[in-house]
Each structure stands twice: as C-alpha cells, then as structure tokens.
Structure 1
Amino acid sequence: MSSYPVYRVENAMTMQDPDMPSPRYHNTIFIETWEDGYKSGRTCHVIGDLVTGMSYDTRIDQDPELDKAFVAKHFLGTINVSDYPDRLNEILRELPGPGKQKSFNPKTMRTEQHKSPGVFYEPGETRPAMVKCTEWTVNQAIPALFEAGVLHKSDEP
C-alpha cells in the first residue's frame, strides 16, 4: 500500500456547550492504517475545553464506526505512507490549538465568553464565534494538510 485513506470523523459529545449552536460534534481526522487491527488507524484532534484551552493530541485508535458516539465519517483523500505519521504530526503540532475563550465571571456567577481573562463582554456587545475542535479540524488542520501536500484529493477508497 502506498497511501492511506483519510477521513473527518464526527462523534456525539456527552455534553453540549450551552453557548454554542447545537447539535455540535467532536471532529477528528482519522487515518485508516490497519496498524492495530481491522480498519484501525490514527486519530488526530485537539483536546481540552474553552476554559483551559485546547492542544493537539494523537493516538492509535479502533475503527471509528465502532465507537458508541460515532455519528459520521467523511472521506477527505489520502496520505502517502512516507508522510505518515512523522510529517502528518509535524504539520498538525505547528497549528495553534483553540485558546482560552471562557472564564468564570464573579459578577454574574456564570462561566462566560471573555475578551481576555477577566475582561468580559457587556450585555448586547457583539461576540466573535468561539473556536473549538470543529473549527480547528475543518478550518485549520485539513487545509494545512492539503496546503503542505500531505493530504491528496482522490476518489473514495
């Protein structure tokens, strides 16, 4: 095999963020390598939350369709065996993970979106959209892999 199929996978979240449109899914990149059994591979994603910030994480994983939280798998293209896993991880580790975007506001006694820690938005003030795993995966990680020439468009495997 000279290349591996690459997918964007959506999994249901155990708890939705009340400040973000629902439903939302945890989005990951899955490279199907069969290195740990039938349809297994590597999951690449960001972990964390909007209060502490998020960071890149990768692990060898089972077929995503076996996960109880599985919702959908979207074929993206292929990655050459020579780019896996070193070049793949090099590119994804360079991308900044979504930072801290919420903190506890003692005035309202709620965890709220902030401009910077300790500086909260006033009622009615326009707030930018928050960035989580979906935005990191779809808007940063996948385009970076295509731009670097690591992810290649191809027909379904």
Structure 2
Amino acid sequence: MAYNVYRVEYRLGFQDPLMPAGERFHNVLFVETDANGDGRILHVIGAIADVNGMRFEEKVGKRPEDSNTYHRKHYLGQIPADQYEALIQLMHSVPAPPRQRIFDSRAMGWVQCKPDGSLYQPGETVPPYMKCTEWVLDRAIPALQQSGFLYPDGIPQEQSVTKTKQTQGDTSEWTWDEARQKYYYYNYATQEYVWSD
C-alpha cells in the first residue's frame, strides 16, 4: 500500500507586511492516507517572533480541495504506507524556522533579529526570512527526497512479467519496471527497493 504525498498551498487570512511584495501562501506537506482524499498535514506553525520560533506539527487533514482556503497542490510522489512513521520522525528532525523578528522599542516597530533575539549590527549579513514556505521548499522536501522512501514516479508495481536475474551466484526474483526501464526487488531486511544498474 502506498500514500500519495503533495505540497499544498492554502490562502492566508492576511499577508505579512514585513515580507517581500507578492502573495504568499501557507505551505504544507499533505499525505493522502484515506481513499476519500483525506490524510495528514505536516507543517510548521507558530510565529517567527515567538521566542522559540516555529514548530513542527502533524494533524488530521481533510481533502485539500474541500478547504475554502485551498489554492493549489503539487504531487511529490508516493511513500510506502509502512514508512509513514519514519516520515514523521524525519520531519521532526528537520529544523523549524527559528525566532527571526523582535519588537525594537527604539525603532518602535518589528525588526529582524538573530535566533537569540539580538539585533543585527551594521555590516552584518541579514538572511532572508524563513517561514512555512521556505521550510517546506528548502528543508522538508529536500529531506524527504534524500530519505530514500519517496518515489516521485510512484512506488513500483509488480508488472505482469517477472524475470529472474543471476546475481553473484544466487538467483533472486527481480521485477521489471517499465517506466524506469530497470529491474528491482524489495529487500525486506533493509526495508528498501533495490534497483539494477
């Protein structure tokens, strides 16, 4: 069994006036776990002005298209259903956006700060803000892609023709994947697919 994984964009109630111009959306990873399109939302919540910054959250989610704030979804691939808990552990390990903004009483407004709350000094490089969109695009998706359990073309399905391939004196059952034009088998010991060269 496999779960489809998407990046989903939801419209925001209001735009952050301190962010660069242009409409932004709340970005999440959505794992479709139910046949009706419902699933689980994996995202960061909180604010970049919070002392501890933002934090990862996993929660139940309805089919994205049923939300009145739904904007768009992007297919990322599939994960084996039995790897879902490993996915959650992986997302917990991806650093959430830290504190990046503080109210400066001298400037009488919000200013960008370091994660410890100290202000940037003249001449210091001030990084761009990181919020939910940047966390998903720049951290969570790359971590998922490097994890080995996201299959962008879908999890290989057993084809009608299974061929036997000779490997190092042992005979192993290999299956031909038409889309990738390669043989593969599932290694139960390591819980991963092994692909031919």
Q: TM-score, normalised by structure 1?
A: 0.89
1:63 matched to 2:59? The reply is no
Instruction: Give the secondary-structure state (helix, strand or coil) at the position aligned to 2:130.
Output: coil
Superposition deviation, residue 127 in structure 1: 2.6
The runs of at least 4 aligned residues of structure 1 exceeding 4 Å deviation read none
Superposition deviation, residue 126 in structure 1: 5.1
CA RMSD of aligned residues (A): 1.7
Q: CA 1:39 to 1:143, structure 2 compared with 1: closer, same or farther past 3 Å?
A: same
Distance in 2 between the 1:46 and 1:130 partners?
14
What residue in structure 2 maps to residue 131 of structure 1? Answer: 130
Residues 63-72 or 13-22, more deviating: 13-22
Instruction: Give the secondary-structure state (helix, strand or coil) at the position aligned to 2:57.
Output: strand
Q: Identity, % of aligned pairs? A: 38
Superposition deviation, residue 4 in structure 1: 1.0
Deviations 1:58-80 (A, max 9, x none): 01110011111111000010010
Relative contact order higher in (CA < 8 Å, ≥ 6 apart): 1
Deviations 1:34-61 (A, max 9, x none): 1xx7210010000011101101000111
* Amino acid across the alignment from 2:102: S
1:47 matched to 2:45? The reply is yes
Distance in 2 between the 1:118 and 1:146 partners?
34
Distance in 1 between the 2:25 and 2:128 partners?
16
Instruction: Give the secondary-structure state (helix, strand or coil) at the position aligned to 1:127.
Output: coil
What residue in structure 2 maps to residue 105 of structure 1? Answer: 104
For the pair shown, which has the larger CA radius of gyration, 1 or 2? 2
* Amino acid across the alignment from 2:138: N
| Unpaired stretches in structure 1, ≥5 consecutive residues | none
* Amino acid across the alignment from 2:59: R
| Unpaired stretches in structure 2, ≥5 consecutive residues | 155-197
**1:10·1:73 contact (CA, 8 Å) conserved in 2?**
yes
Residue correspondences, number: 150
